[in-house]
């Protein structure tokens, strides 16, 4: 189980995403976006733990919830932006 | 006091509403701004109220914008769609919340449908008025003076077929009649929180189908380095700290309405209204009643309407007289010079209230002020 961040442009979309993922039994929590992840400043993100981030992202997109970015650990190192 | 002024505000609320307001004042900080528990709690309260509105009116949570009242929402909607001097179609029963913003834009107005309780005439007038070049139609769902329920679904269908954006003023219908935002296909639907939804005063909702122009600019807790307002709803229209206690109360009010069912609430109130109309007519008063009427009724007293409302107040009946901020509706009904006395019923109005009121109204003295 890996940890990821999905960032959003508004708290409302982050909340919709949280509702949707939890209904799909994906463990996640709402939090402020770490400053370094959002160059435009101030936002909300979901931190989630899942084996299949691509599926979680696809679920959000199917429900028309716009995402900013997805971050995850590629290896042992720090979080990096993922292309999904 | 018998409160018969639900068209102005639902002065009496289900007890859940004030409990939700008080709780929010104790546990909610600023929503959408921080990551600590009280800020998160505020964001949850606001989001749940959006979800509740989404369930009640068939829309997505982000389409729900919290406003300070219905007038606020109508101003946003009108400013988003109507250019200065633009052509707009309105019904003959619009409130000043619609006509004044349009007047400020010097809009070219076509008034469609001035006959009370006559769907055939209303639809024929809209059919003639909704022509190419019209920037928007603005329609009240229920007249705040006469309770006339306009044929909204048919008007909405005409607007959809002709590509004309529709703004709905649901000031008197939200929480009273079923409303399906998605089904209507309206551009905007504005409503107060403090009338048929039983929320606190200072709350309202604007449902948005798409793009909208902000009236207020400022902080949203998102995209802070951008100096333009965010493109996304609801942030685009919600600058500044939200009225979280009010929204909490509104959420509780909407949940209460949804559990009861707007149609069930109206059925009961309408039965009382029919009783009232009959008794007032028997007393020799001119009553404005007919088919397609919600739980609001106007009548002409024997004397001056304001003096009569004052007399009724002294006997313990709270209702409103005059022009009800809707001179256009009075012009349509021929009561612009006299005004009317209006009573509007709510969830706790009883048969005893109505019988006592009718007995008191029938005792009104005949006065001729001029």
In chain A, residues 18-47 whose CB comes closer than 8 Å to chain B: 19, 30-32, 39-44
* Pairs of residues, one from chain A and one from chain B, whose beta carbons lie less than 8 Å apart: 59
pTM: 0.94
CATH no. of A2-82: 3.30.70.120
Q: What is the mean pLDDT of residues B274-282?
A: 96
| Position A47 pLDDT exceeds 50 | yes
Q: Is B313 helix (H, G, I), strand (E, B) or coil?
A: helix
Burial readout A45-62 (b: 16 or more C-beta within 10 A, e: otherwise): bbebebeebeebbebbee
Q: Are B342 and B297 in contact (CB under 8 A)?
A: yes
- Tell me the pLDDT band of A42, cut-offs 50, 70 and 90: confident
Nearest CB among A11, A40, A41 relative to B32 is that of A11
Residues of B in contact with A35 (CB under 8 A): none
Q: Where are the domains of chain A?
A: 2-82
Predicted confidence at residue B365, as pLDDT, reads 58
Predicted confidence at residue B363, as pLDDT, reads 85
Q: What are the strands, taking DSSP E only, across chain B?
A: 2-3, 64-67, 87-91, 108-112, 134-140, 166-169, 188-192, 204-208, 286-288, 296-300, 317-318, 320-322, 340-344
- Kindly write down the DSSP assignment for every residue of B332-368, as one continuous string: HHT-TTT-EEEEE--TT--HHHHHHHHHHHHTPPP--
Q: Where are the domains of chain B?
A: 2-10+261-362, 15-260
Task: Check CB contact under 8 Å for B235 and A10.
Answer: yes
**Residue % of chain A over a pLDDT of 90:** 68
CATH no. of B15-260: 3.40.640.10
Predicted confidence at residue A76, as pLDDT, reads 65
Predicted confidence at residue B292, as pLDDT, reads 96
Task: Check CB contact under 8 Å for B62 and A11.
Answer: no
Q: Supply the mean pLDDT for chain B.
A: 95
Per-residue pLDDT tens over the stretch B17-50:
999 999 999 999 999 888 899 999 999 999 999 9
Per-residue pLDDT tens over the stretch B149-200:
999 999 999 999 999 999 999 999 999 999 999 999 999 999 999 999 999 9
- Kindly write down the DSSP assignment for every residue of B317-331, as one continuous string: EE-EEE-TT-HHHHH
Task: Check CB contact under 8 Å for B62 and A13.
Answer: yes
Structure tokens that stand for B315 in this block: 């006997």
Predicted confidence at residue B32, as pLDDT, reads 83
ipTM confidence: 0.86
Spelled out in words, what is the top-level CATH class assigned to the domain B2-10+261-362? Answer: alpha beta
């Amino acid at each position: 189980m890996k940890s990821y961040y999905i960032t959003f442009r508004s708290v409302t979309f982050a909340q919709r995403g949280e509702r949707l993922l939890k209904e799909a039994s994906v463990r996640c929590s709402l939090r402020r976006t770490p400053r370094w992840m959002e160059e435009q400043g101030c936002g909300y993100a979901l931190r989630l733990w899942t084996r299949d981030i691509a599926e979680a992202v696809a679920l959000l997109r199917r429900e028309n919830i716009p995402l900013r970015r997805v971050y995850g650990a590629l290896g042992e190192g720090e979080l990096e932006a993922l292309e999904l | 006091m018998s409160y018969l002024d639900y068209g102005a505000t639902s002065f009496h609320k289900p007890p859940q509403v004030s409990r939700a307001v008080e709780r929010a004042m104790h546990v909610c900080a600023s929503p959408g701004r921080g990551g600590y528990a009280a800020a998160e709690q505020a964001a949850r309260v606001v989001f749940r109220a959006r979800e509740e509105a989404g369930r009640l009116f068939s829309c997505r949570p982000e389409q729900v914008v919290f406003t300070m009242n219905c007038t606020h929402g109508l101003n946003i909607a009108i400013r988003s769609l109507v250019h200065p001097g633009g052509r707009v179609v309105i019904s003959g029963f619009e409130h000043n919340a619609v006509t004044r913003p349009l007047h400020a834009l010097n809009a070219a107005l076509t008034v469609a449908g001035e006959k009370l309780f006559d769907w055939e005439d209303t639809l024929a007038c809209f059919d003639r008025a909704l022509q190419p070049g019209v920037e928007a139609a603005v329609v009240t769902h229920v007249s705040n003076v006469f309770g006339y329920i306009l044929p909204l679904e048919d008007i909405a269908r005409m607007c959809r077929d002709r590509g004309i954006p529709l703004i709905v003023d649901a000031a008197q219908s939200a929480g009273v009649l079923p409303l399906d935002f998605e089904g209507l296909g309206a551009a905007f639907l504005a409503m107060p929180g403090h009338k048929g939804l039983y929320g606190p005063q200072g709350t309202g909702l604007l449902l948005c189908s798409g793009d909208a122009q902000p009236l207020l600019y400022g902080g949203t807790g998102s995209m802070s380095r951008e100096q333009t307002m965010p493109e996304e709803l609801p942030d685009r229209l919600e600058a500044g700290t939200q009225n979280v206690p009010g929204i909490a109360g509104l959420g509780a009010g909407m949940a209460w309405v949804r559990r009861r069912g707007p149609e069930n609430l109206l059925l009961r109130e309408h039965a009382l209204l029919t009783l009232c109309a009959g008794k007032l007519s028997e007393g020799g008063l001119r009553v404005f009643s007919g088919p397609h009427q919600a739980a609001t009724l106007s009548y002409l007293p024997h004397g001056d309407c304001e003096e009569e409302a004052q007399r009724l107040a002294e006997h313990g009946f709270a209702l409103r007289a005059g022009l009800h901020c809707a001179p256009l509706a009075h012009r349509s009904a021929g009561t612009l010079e006299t005004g009317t006395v209006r009573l509007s019923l709510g969830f706790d109005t009883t048969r005893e209230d109505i019988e006592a009121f009718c007995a008191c109204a029938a005792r009104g003295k005949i006065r001729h002020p001029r």
